[in-house]
Amino acid sequence: MNSKLKRIGILTGGGDCPGLNAVIRSVAKPAMLYEGASVIGILDGFEGMVEGRMRELTHLDVSGIVNLGGTILGTSNKGDPFHYPEEGTDGIRIVDASHRALKHYADWGLDALVAIGGDGSMNIAYKFSQLGLHVVGVPKTIDNDLEATDVTFGYDSALHVATEAIDRLQTTASAHHRVIVVEVMGRYAGWIALGAGLAGGADVILIPEIPFSWDRVCEAVAQRKWGAKFSIVCVSEGARPEDGKIVVKESDVKRTDPVRLGGIGELVANRIQEKTGIETRVTVLGHVQRGGSPTAYDRILASRFGAMALQTLTRGEFGCMVSLQGRDIVTVPLKDAIARQRLVPRDSQLISTARAVGVSFGD
């Protein structure tokens, strides 16, 4: 081990997802058992780093957690140190509190930090690396929208939940000859809707990357009225019509990205029923996609990511993110990891496969 690396900090930032605890375990266990390092768990993500909340992890803390969803450290998507919300007499104001995080890093005697999170957390990690912190990032997000890795852990688990939901909704849609609209997460990337829609046998899939026509969506549903007599429409929360914008549920100034998406499913369901006369229902899966135990794939991927993160630290390689490329776990510079989002290409084989079996994308 790098002799200078005796105290390792670890945090989970942004939204929770299955697999976070598997990463914590695969960093902390070997660090303690074989490298003689102390592992400091920073509580509630970067917010805890600003506020000074941490505890030293023990062997017991990281035993028996590989199958647990959520995170034993807690997390926050409103704790960006460079865009930090502070309550005052005049309400909430946004400040740069990064100096407070840097002070706690020094006060805790940390030699390096493992930051587990999505694109927002990787952006924060990159900024801290530019300020001299020894940081290694681990990519997680159910949205699967980080370009620098083939897949993020959490995606497979969310995909499994969404697919099972569509399977269950198929039976009730068929029994009542209804259209059921299923709204799934994914923000500005359509990977969950595309994967779950294809695996679950959805008839219409609406994703952010392909703006849809109301007429074509309704035509696709109406045509099935004389055959199967029911339809499943899988809608990504970031999908939008050709002549419209994404549907925003609310705005939260405390977040770096203040937009909270939601509501497109209800809009689609109402328009379908109005135009076709077919009874239509909507199911919003919401946070159920982020909860529960990780799939075997995500447990293994998260464990591999964590193990590589520790190996990277011991090599003295910082300012990077671990990444799955092909069959191998490698590292990429954080700067490259945050360069752009991983969106569904219009020429994706998944899209062409879905079209080949009759799925409409409303275009």
Q: Which residues contact 347 (CB under 8 A, 6 or more apart)?
A: none
pLDDT of residue 3: 55
Say yes or no: 143 and 186 in one domain.
Answer: no
Q: What is the pLDDT of residues 255-287, one digit of tens each?
A: 777 778 889 999 999 999 999 999 999 999 999
Cβ(17)–Cβ(186) below 8 Å:
no
CATH number at residue 248: 3.40.50.460
Residue owning tokens 């957390």: 121
Q: Tell me the HSE value of 262 on the side-chain side, using a 13 A CA sphere.
A: 10
Say yes or no: 198 and 222 in one domain.
Answer: yes
Domain annotation covers residue 173: yes
CATH number at residue 87: 3.40.50.450
SS3 label, residue 346? coil
Say yes or no: 351 and 257 in one domain.
Answer: yes
Cβ(80)–Cβ(46) below 8 Å:
yes
Nearest by Cα to 94 from 79, 109, 110? 79
Domain annotation covers residue 2: no
Say yes or no: 269 and 325 in one domain.
Answer: no
Q: Which residues are designated catalytic?
A: 143
Q: How far from chain centre, in Å, is Cα 216?
A: 30
Counted domains in the chain:
2
This prediction has a pTM of 0.94
CA 41-45-46 angle, 5° bins: 110
Residues of the chain with pLDDT under 70: 1-3, 226
Round the average pLDDT of the chain to a whole number and report it. Answer: 94
Cβ(193)–Cβ(186) below 8 Å:
yes
Q: What is d(CA 72, CA 80) in angstroms, rounded to the nearest whole number?
A: 20
Say yes or no: 193 and 271 in one domain.
Answer: yes
Structural domain of 28: 7-153+292-337
Phi, psi of 11 (to 5 degrees): -145, 160
Say yes or no: 211 and 107 in one domain.
Answer: no
Say yes or no: 148 and 252 in one domain.
Answer: no
Q: What is d(CA 212, CA 363) in angstroms, rounded to the nearest whole number?
A: 5
Q: What is d(CA 234, CA 277) in angstroms, rounded to the nearest whole number?
A: 19
Q: At what angle do helices 264-276 and 214-224 cross, to 10 degrees?
A: 60
Domain annotation covers residue 349: yes
Domain annotation covers residue 234: yes
Phi-psi sector, 352: left (phi>0), alpha (psi -120 to 50), beta = alpha
pLDDT of residue 259: 78
Domain annotation covers residue 131: yes
Nearest by Cα to 1 from 311, 305, 303? 311
Domain annotation covers residue 43: yes
Say yes or no: 103 and 15 in one domain.
Answer: yes
